[in-house]
A and B are shown apart, each in its own frame.
Chain A
Amino acid sequence: MTVFIIRRLVQSVLVVFVMSFLVFGGVNLVGDPVEMMVSDEADQEERERVIRSMGLDKPWYVQYGLFVANAAQGDLGKSFVYGEQALGIIVQRMPATFELALAALLMAIVIGIPLGVYSGLNSESRFSKVIMAGSILGFSLPTFWVGLMFIMVFAVMLGWLPSTGRGETVELLGINVSFLTTNGLSHLILPAVNLALFKISLVIRLARAGTREIVHMDFIKFARAKGLSTQRVIMVHLMKNIMIPVVTVLGLEFGGLIAFSVVTETVFAWPGMGKLIIDSIQGLDRPVIVAYLMIIVLVFVVINLVVDVLYSILDPRVRIQDVKG
């Protein structure tokens, strides 16, 4: 077990280092930030002063060395655009993204499980065919286009919900959140549903497959024979058992939600990390791009490490195979 964890830790650190090198090296080749920082009338002296102040006059390996040394202290450089610490800007935007991702996760569960269980129990009914067709659409529809159509229908045509932004926020434990004000909540609904669409389809499929398998098992028959109401059999006995795969997969997919929030945030102008990275790529704001990519790599490496370790605890075959290999 210890060997397994150590191996995985070493691998994770290696991945972070390789990615930091790739990201830094790659991003350094993109565009010329000096062009954006100085005005057209600036003379050579002015230009050189800007280059020096951004550390761009040093060779790339010195820049990388400095970058790693600073990154270890939580300093990922100052944003060219905002003039503040890149890390700080991203951390500031993080709660918005996490709120959106969590809301989407919640919707996937609240909408996906009942529909999936229903269509598993009545797989021949017309409504469950509609549900399954809907889930195929949910897999096929490009997220961003659905988001646009949401805006068109619910914001422009019907005028029910606001189209962009985050609305009023309230401070909760030092973090600004939207879901506690009616205005904020109305801003949250469309983006959250949009982001959740793919996961809803996924949960429907998982819940349906689970239900169809479990409904024929002996303990369900026994519960029925005992005279329990259908409602109780479904809500307690069946639900408990289909939740295991659903929770596992959703845990794994949380990282995907954060990644895909880039799309939803751009569509709905939601002020989170994803919108920030797109703006930064377009504005060639190198420190912010590098900082975002490093943070997201770190987040994913941690998620994967935790999942791997949890799996190896639950399923010893995984770690035995790995140590042998």
Chain B
Amino acid sequence: MNTIAEQVAPIAAASEVKVETPFRRFCTAFLDSKVATTALIVLGILIFMALFAPLISPTNPYDLAVVSILDSKMPPGTKSLDGVTFLLGTDGAGRDLVSAMIYGLRISLGVGVMSGIFAMAIGATVGLIAAYFGGRTENIIMRIVDIQLSFPAILVALILLAILGKGVDKITIALIIVQWAYYARTVRGSALVERNKEYIEAATCLAIGHRRILFRHLLPNCLPPLIVVGTIQTAHAISLEATLSFLGVGLPVSEPSLGLLISNGFDYMLSGKYWISFFPGIALLITIVSINLVGDQLRDVLNPRLER
């Protein structure tokens, strides 16, 4: 008896060190791909830069005391009149491009993430309600979703912004309205499957309120696909915001996102001053690609059908 217990103990202790929680399994699976890990690190750096833009950026691009029109359109690497080196040159207003890009990233990521979060909250709620209650409610909701999704996102956003006008708040609202339907459809899809499982039946038998069942029981089990769609949609929202700003219907000139910086540089491109459009574009590209790569890996890891 004693000997068996002594033999078992070390094994138990060893397995305790490496308990396989679902979260840890998820992390291991995610970090399995080098590309996705790199993308995640890059994304982390970008978010860090966006959050702490005032501390990181070499100059404040909005501070009129620092920005001088005499420094405008300097090629990368030139020194300013004050002796500051412009690593990536300056834009048409004489702003240091590195600083303008960091601040632009802040706006681009901010608009993308904010609209994503609100759209997800609205879409998930509506989708859950549709799947849970079914019948006429579901029919009406899904018909609206179908109709909206039959129009391309850029067109809906263009119509909305033609009506709403320019501004960070307005483009965020437009992006929320454009995106909620994707989340609603995704959540409804997985909630329809979950609704018929025993634990929901058990919860219903316990006479728990609808709201509690929806958000405490149904929602957590619909999260994986929601997270995947959330990442991809956020990348999409950032790209869409840049496009709309480029078209001149998104953000006002006073708050340049990466898209607006590119748009400003367009005017100088034909005279060979490529850097004003080129570098913000690269920054935008890196942001979108790294979010997409993280999203792709999340999809692979969270998909139960792909046995790993």
A: residues with CB less than 8 A from B are: 11, 15, 22-23, 26-27, 29-30, 136-137, 139-145, 148-149, 151-152, 155-156, 163, 255-256, 259-260, 262-263, 266-267, 277-278, 281-282, 289, 293, 296, 300, 304, 325
Contacts A139-B292, A152-B269 given; indicate if A259 touches B152 (C-beta within 8 A): yes
**Separation in Å of the B72 CB from the closest CB of chain A?**
19
Contacts A148-B269, A156-B272, A266-B247 given; indicate if A140 touches B152 (C-beta within 8 A): no
Contacts A27-B162, A29-B163 given; indicate if A149 touches B278 (C-beta within 8 A): yes
* Contact in complex: A296, B155 (CB < 8 Å): yes
Give the distance in Å from the alpha carbon of A325 to the alpha carbon of B141 in the complex: 13
* Contact in complex: A282, B165 (CB < 8 Å): no
What 0/1 readout, one digit per residue, does chain B (232-257) give for beta carbons within 8 Å of chain A? 00010001001100111100000000
* Contact in complex: B152, A255 (CB < 8 Å): yes
**Separation in Å of the A66 CB from the closest CB of chain B?**
20
Give the distance in Å from the alpha carbon of A29 to the alpha carbon of B160 in the complex: 12
> Would you give 24 A-B contacts (Cβ < 8 Å), ordered by A?
A15-B147, A23-B163, A26-B162, A26-B164, A27-B162, A27-B163, A140-B289, A141-B285, A141-B288, A142-B242, A142-B259, A142-B288, A144-B259, A145-B285, A151-B269, A151-B270, A152-B269, A152-B274, A163-B270, A259-B152, A259-B155, A282-B249, A296-B155, A300-B151
Give the distance in Å from the alpha carbon of A256 to the alpha carbon of B155 in the complex: 9
**Dominant secondary structure of chain B at its interface with chain A:** helix
Contacts A137-B289, A259-B152 given; indicate if A142 touches B163 (C-beta within 8 A): no
Query: Which residue of B152, B165, B284 is within 8 Å of A30 (Cβ)?
Result: B165
* Contact in complex: A140, B243 (CB < 8 Å): no
Smallest CB-CB A-B distances: 4 pairs: A26-B163, A259-B152, A145-B281, A259-B155
Query: Which residue of A136, A144, A304 is within 8 Å of B262 (Cβ)?
Result: A144
**Dominant secondary structure of chain A at its interface with chain B:** helix
* Contact in complex: B154, A263 (CB < 8 Å): yes
Whether, in the assembled complex, B139 has its beta carbon less than 8 Å from a beta carbon of chain A, the answer is yes
Whether, in the assembled complex, B223 has its beta carbon less than 8 Å from a beta carbon of chain A, the answer is no
Nearest A residue to B138, CB-CB? A325
Give the distance in Å from the alpha carbon of A151 to the alpha carbon of B243 in the complex: 17
Whether, in the assembled complex, B118 has its beta carbon less than 8 Å from a beta carbon of chain A, the answer is no
Residues 123-150 of B contacting A (Cβ, < 8 Å): 139, 143, 147, 150
Count B-side interface residues using an 8 Å CB cutoff: 39
* Contact in complex: A140, B158 (CB < 8 Å): no
* Contact in complex: B284, A259 (CB < 8 Å): no
* Contact in complex: A325, B154 (CB < 8 Å): no
Query: Which residue of B159, B248, B281, B285 is within 8 Å of A282 (Cβ)?
Result: B248
* Contact in complex: B289, A293 (CB < 8 Å): no
Residues from chain A with Cβ under 8 Å of B249 in the complex: 278, 281-282
Contacts A26-B162, A259-B152 given; indicate if A140 touches B288 (C-beta within 8 A): yes
Residues from chain A with Cβ under 8 Å of B154 in the complex: 259-260, 262-263
What 0/1 readout, one digit per residue, does chain B (259-280) give for beta carbons within 8 Å of chain A? 1001001100110101001100
Query: Which residue of A142, A152, A278, A325 is within 8 Å of B248 (Cβ)?
Result: A278
* Contact in complex: A140, B278 (CB < 8 Å): no
Give the distance in Å from the alpha carbon of A255 to the alpha carbon of B156 in the complex: 13
What 0/1 readout, one digit per residue, does chain B (269-307) give for beta carbons within 8 Å of chain A? 110101001100100110011001000000000000000
Give the distance in Å from the alpha carbon of A67 to the alpha carbon of B247 in the complex: 28
Give the distance in Å from the alpha carbon of A256 to the alpha carbon of B162 in the complex: 19
**Separation in Å of the B273 CB from the closest CB of chain A?**
10
Query: Which residue of A142, A152, A260 is within 8 Å of B152 (Cβ)?
Result: A260
**Separation in Å of the A210 CB from the closest CB of chain B?**
20
Contacts A142-B288, A266-B247 given; indicate if A156 touches B269 (C-beta within 8 A): yes
Nearest B residue to A141, CB-CB? B285
Residues from chain A with Cβ under 8 Å of B292 in the complex: 136, 139-140
* Contact in complex: B288, A30 (CB < 8 Å): no
Nearest B residue to A296, CB-CB? B155
* Contact in complex: B152, A278 (CB < 8 Å): no
Residues from chain A with Cβ under 8 Å of B151 in the complex: 259, 300
Give the distance in Å from the alpha carbon of A259 to the alpha carbon of B151 in the complex: 9
Residues from chain A with Cβ under 8 Å of B150 in the complex: 300, 304
* Contact in complex: A142, B272 (CB < 8 Å): no
Contacts A30-B165, A140-B235, A325-B139 given; indicate if A277 touches B289 (C-beta within 8 A): no
Residues from chain B with Cβ under 8 Å of A144 in the complex: 242-243, 246-247, 259, 262
Contacts A156-B269, A156-B270, A293-B159 given; indicate if A142 touches B247 (C-beta within 8 A): no
Give the distance in Å from the alpha carbon of A219 to the alpha carbon of B224 in the complex: 39
Query: Which residue of A139, A163, A289 is within 8 Å of B162 (Cβ)?
Result: A289
Give the distance in Å from the alpha carbon of A293 to the alpha carbon of B151 in the complex: 12
Nearest B residue to A280, CB-CB? B162
Residues from chain A with Cβ under 8 Å of B139 in the complex: 325
Query: Considering residues B152, B162, B266, B269, which has the most beta carbons from chain A within 10 angstroms of its beta carbon?
Result: B162
Give the distance in Å from the alpha carbon of A282 to the alpha carbon of B250 in the complex: 11
Give the distance in Å from the alpha carbon of A149 to the alpha carbon of B262 in the complex: 11
Nearest B residue to A18, CB-CB? B147
Residues from chain A with Cβ under 8 Å of B248 in the complex: 278, 281-282
Query: Which residue of B164, B247, B265, B288 is within 8 Å of A278 (Cβ)?
Result: B247
Contacts A140-B292, A142-B288, A262-B247 given; indicate if A148 touches B281 (C-beta within 8 A): yes
Residues from chain B with Cβ under 8 Å of A30 in the complex: 162-163, 165
Residues from chain B with Cβ under 8 Å of A296 in the complex: 155
